[in-house]
Chains A and B, each alone.
Chain A
Amino acid sequence: AQSVTQLGSHVSVSEGALVLLRCNYSSSVPPYLFWYVQYPNQGLQLLLKYTTGATLVKGINGFEAEFKKSETSFHLTKPSAHMSDAAEYFCAVSGGIQGAQKLVFGQGTRLTINP
């Protein structure tokens, strides 16, 4: 079975500062990993994904994440925060192609950007 833990339900940073949202996963098979973003009163949108290959993954809006198998982590970063980045972010894992039918989400991290 797969599980996801997002460290910190709320993260607050200043505009222009580094954004770091933490995600650790558990999976008995090679995982597929995703980050989604949710803006108020909307559904979730894909930011980026890792399946196989390069461990540093670049997504939309300047976000990137690095898959670290030894640390079972998939942390999301952005070098310089923008006010429009304020949203809730979800890390998700599926058990590779075998467990692809059941995507498991973390609890979410609400990102606030201070002017």
Chain B
Amino acid sequence: NAGVTQTPKFQVLKTGQSMTLQCAQDMNHEYMSWYRQDPGMGLRLIHYSVGAGITDQGEVPNGYNVSRSTTEDFPLRLLSAAPSQTSVYFCASRREGGYSPLHFGNGTRLTVT
């Protein structure tokens, strides 16, 4: 099993550009989520999904869109990138049930200039 796969690993964008961060998992997990990691702030939840067709907002959803058309994939879209979105982004998944541990991808480091 590959686990949680994120692409790309690195990305540089100019202000106003759009892009999609890809996330795929092969563990048949119902729950998937996106976090951003910033120094001194830990990880903050952006969006999450409890199954195909169901998404909801986390703590910092502004500027990001998500959709979940399949169990395996959960892409994160930046419609108009801003320097404040410079961060490391992590996708994570788990089985349904709040006590199940999150499985993380290796992250995407995004720089917006």
Question: Which range contains the number of A residues in contact with the other chain?
Answer: 20 to 34
Q: Which of B42, B45, B105 has the most CB of A within 10 A?
A: B42
Does A34 sit within 8 A of B, measured CB to CB? yes
Q: Is the Cβ of B43 less than 8 Å from the Cβ of A105?
A: yes
Question: Which range contains the number of B residues in contact with the other chain?
Answer: 20 to 34
Q: Could you list which residues of chain A lie within 8 angstroms of chain B, going by C-beta atoms?
A: 4, 6, 9, 32, 34, 36, 41-46, 49, 51, 90, 94, 96-97, 99-108
Q: Is the Cβ of B102 less than 8 Å from the Cβ of A99?
A: no
Q: Which of B42, B48, B92, B99 contacts A32 (CB 8 A)?
A: B99
Q: Which residue of A lies closest to B48 (CB)?
A: A101
Q: Is the Cβ of B42 less than 8 Å from the Cβ of A105?
A: yes
Q: Is the Cβ of A102 less than 8 Å from the Cβ of B104?
A: no
Does B31 sit within 8 A of A, measured CB to CB? yes
Contacts A101-B50, A102-B48, A107-B41 given; does A32 touch B106 at CB 8 Å? no
Nearest CB of B to A105, in Å = 4
Q: Which of A46, A90, A97 has the most CB of B within 10 A?
A: A46
Q: Which of A45, A97, A99, A103 has the most CB of B within 10 A?
A: A103
